[in-house]
Amino acid sequence: MLGSLQLLQPTNVAEASGALRDFGERGKLYAGGAELLLLMRHGLLQSEILVDVKKIERLHRIAWDDDALSVGACVTHHALETHLLVREHAPSFAYAESQVANVRVRNQGTLGGNLCFNDPHSDPGTVLLVHNAAVTLGSQRGERQIPLNDFFLDVYETVLEPDELLLDVEIPSLPSGMISAYLRLHRFQRPTLGVAAAVKMTDGIIAESRLAVGCVGPRAQRLAELETKINGNSISDAKRIFAEQKNYLRDMLQPVDDLLGSADYKLYMTGVLLGEALEQAARKDGVRK
Ligand SMILES: Cc1cc2nc3c(=O)[nH]c(=O)nc-3n(C[C@H](O)[C@H](O)[C@H](O)COP(=O)(O)OP(=O)(O)OC[C@H]3O[C@@H](n4cnc5c(N)ncnc54)[C@H](O)[C@@H]3O)c2cc1C
């Protein structure tokens, strides 16, 4: 059961940030509430004041600006899965959004809430890494933009300051000719493993690639070194390289045993799914609309 709570509904970023600063530990930023209310109901988190940011107009924007999609933090998973601009410019991201949980969570949960909570068993962050996405953070002190790769720190940990809000996510389009695919493995609603691959092929050879893996360890990771290793190879050679790179993958991903699978199983399946995602993207059916 939840005790009595005060609800604040600021209409701009400075007001929201000021409330977070003034109330400190007593106040919590609240978007869809899919995670926050669950934690409070189970007594894992206490709060007296909820700072509901959904009245801030900017946080609901989806737009195509100068070769990049801009998505406000309060846009829901369901809106992202169905929005025409997202399906056109970042189809694998739209597909990943369609795989989140169930329709109830997709209608309630927001992209910002998902990224800021940074539960390792999440879908959107992994595919956003192959887009070289960046996040804009804002507070009373101003705004700063940082690559998503630098935003995630560790399990449930990001670079957000206590009075800072995630405002929007910039998602550049992939380079011309590059196609992406997202694959996930799950036993329950949350993914055990999520893999994003993007590839540009020239005469059957990988000219350029991007790879990211999520859910295996503390945070979603881009695998830049592995990208360099597979460039210049065929898809079947790349699959062989993935199978040989167990030690690199273990070091990069730091797999953990948990209720969703053993570390060894996740590591083995990472190699398999990377190969499948790459092949799907190379066949040009990776783009799912
Ligand atoms: C049953 C269940 C199944 C799920 N399955 C999946 C799944 O398969 N894949 C997946 O990816 N996710 C899954 N999720 C996670 C889900 O996507 C997130 O719960 C949701 O996106 C959180 O968004 P929210 O708006 O509800 O966040 P909230 O619960 O409102 O907030 C979560 C946290 O983020 C902070 N926060 C929220 N917005 C901002 C912001 N703009 N700036 C700064 N801080 C902010 C809050 O203060 C809080 O600490 C699942 C969740 C549940 C409950």
Helices (H), the chain: 13-23, 36-41, 77-82, 84-89, 91-98, 103-108, 111-117, 124-130, 148-151, 224-230, 235-244, 246-253, 263-282
pLDDT tens digits, residue range 178-194?
Answer: 999 999 999 888 999 99
pLDDT tens digits, residue range 65-118?
Answer: 889 999 999 999 999 999 999 999 999 999 999 999 999 999 999 999 999 999
In Å, the largest CA–CA distance within the chain is 64
pLDDT, position 2: 73
Asked if pLDDT for residue 289 goes beyond 60, the answer is: no
Distances (CA, A) of 187 to 3, 33, 114, 190, 260: 34, 24, 20, 8, 7
pLDDT, position 250: 94
pLDDT tens digits, residue range 10-55?
Answer: 999 999 999 999 999 999 999 999 999 999 999 899 899 999 999 9
Distance of CA 218 to the CA centre of its chain: 13
267 — phi, psi (to 5°)? Answer: -65, -45
| Alpha-carbon span 48 to 192, nearest angstrom | 34
One-letter amino acid of 15 = E
pLDDT, position 1: 65
Instruction: Return the residue matching tokens 């993935």.
Output: 242
pLDDT tens digits, residue range 228-272?
Answer: 999 999 999 999 999 999 999 999 999 989 888 899 999 999 999
Q: Pocket of ligand 1, candidates 35, 99, 190: which has the most ligand atoms within 8 Å of its Cβ, to mutate?
A: 35
pLDDT, position 247: 93
Asked if pLDDT for residue 288 goes beyond 60, the answer is: no
pLDDT, position 286: 55
pLDDT, position 3: 75
pTM above 0.85, yes or no: yes
| Alpha-carbon span 179 to 247, nearest angstrom | 28
Q: Quick one: which atom of ligand 1 is closest to the CA of 166?
A: 42
Q: Is the CB of 13 under 6 A from ligand 1?
A: no
pLDDT tens digits, residue range 136-150?
Answer: 999 999 999 999 999
33: its two tokens: 């509430």
Cβ neighbors of 284 (< 8 A, separation 6 or more) are 179
Cα dihedral 80, 29, 3, 36, rounded to 10, equals 40
Mean pLDDT, to the nearest integer, of 151-172? 97
Q: Is the CB of 29 under 6 A from ligand 1?
A: yes
Q: Pocket of ligand 1, candidates 51, 59, 81, 100: which has the most ligand atoms within 8 Å of its Cβ, to mutate?
A: 100
